[in-house]
A and B are shown apart, each in its own frame.
Chain A
């Protein structure tokens, strides 16, 4: 228990709140890394998921990818991204391998599967009768997608973004292992320097940032959910990630 208290003491020490290695700087680094990665992952995965859900093409591979995403350790993704940059970067620009680039590549790769599968399932689960009725009324494919499928898929898309964001924030903590910044620095450096208070403070900050991310995205999900009852918004459906193997079974 002493360790935890030391960690909290470290956190309230004003000395640790300034400079390049201060808490605000590290939090900002962490948030930047996460936001950039999430944005890229979203730009790739949401349109792709909409396309797959709308056309029903490539469903099999989407499920496979989601399962693969679950079974590849995030540490492995980070290492592979690092390795890729080392191998591909010109010999005189090896510094690219350290810092932002491999971290963002890894975090983006980690975020894609869960956004993709949730978007795809969100579109795919729209009642076929509703789609048929919409087509019967004369909507074209684009109108069906934007007026029907996207609004109805919104809750699951937001679930995908939330799960991806939490995973990205968590894994950004590991970026310190490949000389990246962010809050993981406190943990990794603290461990190397045997400074328990610094380790614990870093761990607390990462945990709090993850919980905050989860909370913010839950609120966003509520705000964007379609109204399905006159009294309020529909309850968000269960995460595709965890409930019922039939949606995303591993393998």
Chain B
């Protein structure tokens, strides 16, 4: 096994390898870009599909409270199964494909997105809903014109958590060669060559921060009223 070879080498000579060799980075720009694209692609696909499932589920649950408990239980189990184990459970079924990575990621985002969307919908003042119905909005208009806009800060807060978590989780998929920046981390770990490890860690954290800031900006643009209404969707 790899580690044993590495162990032998390390024990023999101690560690003298520097944390970063800049030349490696300039030599690997193409690979960094393609790993980055893979990372972004997997994140976007997983969060988007997760949201497409969680959003209607939350709308359903906000209308029919009995649905809250079963949906929470199912998504809770999916949330608790470690992505690492989930990927390898799927391996014999879906092979080394992107699907093997996407399914655990989607499963992981469901609970976060469901709970936040439901919490957002629930946070809408019942008086506002009553007044809106009283003015003659239909149920559908109530949902799209009142409830969803007002739930948006909390929904986006959920998307931020789901996105940041997914970006971090994807690195694990490096074990089957689909880990985006995680591939560099694993490569460094396997070879005692620290540069890719450092690059992988830094870039995946940076990507998480970037995505978070973008979503925060999106929320600001979409809900200009939130500041006036004192909605604290951000505590930074």
Contact = CB atoms under 8 A, between A and B. Distances in A.
A46 B149 CA distance: 38
B81 A243 contact: no
B1 interface: yes
Given A95-B7, A250-B160, A207 B1 contact: no
A82 B189 contact: yes
Interface stretch (A135-143, A174-182, A228-236): A174-182
A1 B93 contact: yes
B93 A73 contact: no
Interface of A: 1-4, 6-7, 63-64, 67, 70-76, 79-80, 82-83, 86-87, 91-92, 94-95, 97-98, 166, 169-171, 173-174, 177-179, 184, 187-189, 191-192, 196, 199-200, 202-204, 206-207, 210-211, 214, 238, 241-251
Interface in B3-30: 3-4, 7, 10-11, 14-15, 19
A192 B82 contact: no
A245 B86 contact: no
B175 to A, nearest CB: 7
Interface of B: 1-4, 7, 10-11, 14-15, 19, 76-77, 80-89, 91-93, 111-112, 115-116, 119, 153-154, 156-158, 160-161, 164-165, 167-172, 174-175, 182, 185-186, 188-189, 192, 194, 197, 200-201, 204-205, 208-209, 212-213, 216, 231-236
Contacts of A200: 88-89, 91-92
Given A95-B7, A211-B80, A70 B165 contact: yes
Contact of B3 (A87, A179, A210, A249): A179
B186 to A, nearest CB: 7
A199 B89 CA distance: 8
Given A73-B168, A170-B82, A251-B216, A177 B189 contact: yes
Contacts of B233: 245-246, 249
Contact of B92 (A4, A72, A87, A246): A4
B33 to A, nearest CB: 19
A188 B80 CA distance: 21
A98 B7 contact: yes
Contacts of B208: 70-71, 250
B204 to A, nearest CB: 6
27 contacts: A4-B92, A7-B89, A70-B164, A71-B167, A75-B182, A75-B186, A76-B168, A76-B185, A87-B15, A92-B14, A94-B10, A94-B15, A170-B82, A173-B84, A174-B84, A177-B3, A207-B86, A211-B77, A242-B112, A242-B116, A243-B115, A243-B119, A245-B153, A245-B156, A246-B233, A246-B235, A249-B216
Grouping DSSP codes into helix (H, G, I), strand (E, B) and loop, the A interface class, with mixed when no group exceeds half, is: helix
B182 A251 contact: no
A245 B168 contact: no
Contacts of B161: 70, 241-242, 245, 248-250
A83 B85 contact: no
B220 to A, nearest CB: 13
Contacts of B2: 192
Contacts of A71: 164, 167-168, 205, 208-209, 212
Contacts of B89: 4, 7, 200, 203-204, 207
Given A76-B204, A79-B201, A210-B81, 15 more contacts: A4-B92, A72-B205, A73-B170, A75-B172, A80-B201, A83-B194, A98-B7, A166-B80, A173-B84, A184-B84, A200-B92, A203-B84, A241-B161, A245-B156, A245-B157
Given A73-B182, A73-B185, A206-B84, A245 B160 contact: yes
Contacts of A184: 84
Nearest to B7: A98
Q: Which residue, of B1, B89, B192, has the highest number of chain A Cβ atoms within 10 A?
A: B89
Contacts of B234: 245-246, 249, 251
Contacts of A86: 10, 15, 192
Given A73-B185, A166-B80, A170-B84, A246 B157 contact: yes
A191 to B, nearest CB: 7
